[in-house]
Amino acid sequence: MTADNSETELQHSIDATVSKPTSARTSDGLRALEQYKVKDSTKVVVRFKAVGNAPIMKQNFYKITSSNRFQAVIQFLRKELVWAANEPLHTYINLAFSPAPDDTVANLYKSFATDGHLIVNYRYSHMSLWPFRYCMLKHFVQSTTQAWG
């Protein structure tokens, strides 16, 4: 077998791979696009837990559509707690991090679910924590000074 024959065979195999009918590629693409457009209707159990001075909800477990963005969870929580949009509300997943509003509930659930539900901690912070921290630090310094003489 000569070098010219092997180059020709290689070119034919590349052409056969690349020359998939356009209609087949288009239909594959359209099918994938249609599947992407369909909203996932599965529900995820979300458990809300109050942190700090936030009021405790009467019901803690809710089912939320997994295709929703986390922003929908925040809006739902505001509605349930009757908090205005300008009132500060902080949300955390498992007390570890605050998800971005454009994260999907499905992704958060797949990555951080605990015991079959997604734990969303919420905190109301009407004022800065600085006065509280300052008082605690002042108390600590005074008690330490008294203890050491």
Class of residue 37 by CB neighbours under 10 A (exposed 0-12, middle 13-18, buried 19+): exposed
Of 104, 146, 125, the C-alpha closest to 51 is 125
- In this prediction, residue 129 carries a pLDDT of 47
Domain boundaries, the chain: 39-124
CA 117 to chain centroid, in Å, comes to 13
Structure confidence at residue 74 as a pLDDT band (50, 70, 90): very high
Q: What are the pLDDT digits (tens) for 83-101?
A: 888 888 999 999 999 999 9
Residues 6 or more apart in contact with residue 90 via CB below 8 angstroms: 98, 122, 123, 124, 125
Q: How many whole angstroms separate alpha carbon 55 and alpha carbon 22?
A: 59
Mean pLDDT in residue range 14-20: 52
CATH fit for domain 39-124, picks 3.10.20.90, 1.10.580.10, 3.50.50.60, 3.40.50.1820: 3.10.20.90
- pTM more than 0.85: no
Helix (H, G, I), strand (E, B) or coil at 89: strand
If phi > 0 it is left, if psi is from -120 to 50 it is alpha, else beta; for residue 116 that is left
